[in-house]
Amino acid sequence: MKPVKPKPSSTPSAPKPSAAKPRTSLKGDTNDAFAFAPLSNPGNVTVEGSVSSYKAWSTSKVLVVAAFLDTACDGDPAKASAQQKRWVTAALTASDMNAVIALREDIPGSPGAAITKVLRSIGDTRTVAPDASQGGMQWTIREQVRFMAALSSGRVVSRAASAYILSSMRPIAAHRWGLGTIGAGAFKGGWLRSDTVTRQMGIVDGYAVAIITDAVGPAVRQTDGDSAHVEQMNYLAKVLDRRLALESGRG
């Protein structure tokens, strides 16, 4: 009788790692951040992540337009000349610097004071605008969400001015990255160099939102000659979109 060879003991194979869940939070991130608030409850602002600087860059162009409408037009866009309306369009769609400078020069008195007044009128007690180079001012994403929510509810300058600004915040095709990839209606971006922040604020699916990255990823030259972190902004927009889906029950 031949001896029976013992069967080799079988070692259970390690379970295959499951695919990582898509990211929906920026908690603990020190290179990126987002903020959002439902338009139905704009005081409920969520902010996650952080960056080293909140320089406004070209998002400040929206503030210049608002201050122009408030002071030079008494809050009525119909009082703007045809040329001034063309400047508003160029500033808020193509982020044209010459256009926003022209509008700023038409603000009587101190442009910084006029912009700061607009911000105070919607409850922003922190942000202070200078008379020139507004792109270099600090404007947090929390306050940008407050501003976008106020625009949506018609509280920036006047209902007519708010509606006019929102209808004008439609970036050209070359600038429709980031929030533009997740169905944003009105939105505006800001950028400068490869070593500075790139940011956007806007309205997405019933929320006022803002996203910002602190020089993460490659920088892409834009139509104005400055550079934006397009790839990272597209990624942050997707993270935000997944988060909003969870918040609203879509996810």
pLDDT, one tens digit per residue, over 152-189 is 999 999 999 999 999 999 999 999 999 999 999 899 99
Mean pLDDT for 74-96 is: 98
Quote the pLDDT of residue 249. 83
Residue 111 pLDDT exceeds 90: yes
Quote the pLDDT of residue 16. 45
| Structure confidence by residue, pLDDT tens digits, 129-151 | 999 999 999 999 999 999 999 99
Residue 76 pLDDT exceeds 60: yes
Mean pLDDT for 113-127 is: 98
Mean pLDDT for 94-100 is: 98
Domain ranges of the chain: 32-248
Strand partners, 214: 197
164: nearest Cα among 65, 39, 56, 37: 65
Cα separations in angstroms, 206 against 36, 46, 187, 249: 10, 14, 13, 13
Q: Which residue has the tokens 């259970």?
A: 12
Quote the pLDDT of residue 193. 97
Quote the pLDDT of residue 9. 44
> Lowest-pLDDT range, 20-24, 103-107, 193-197?
20-24
Quote the pLDDT of residue 5. 52
Dihedral Cα 188, 226, 84, 136, nearest 10 deg = 70
Q: For the domain with range 32-248, which CATH number is right: 3.90.850.10, 3.40.710.10, 3.30.930.10, 1.10.3710.10? A: 3.40.710.10
Give CA angle at 196 (192, 199), nearest 5°.
Answer: 70
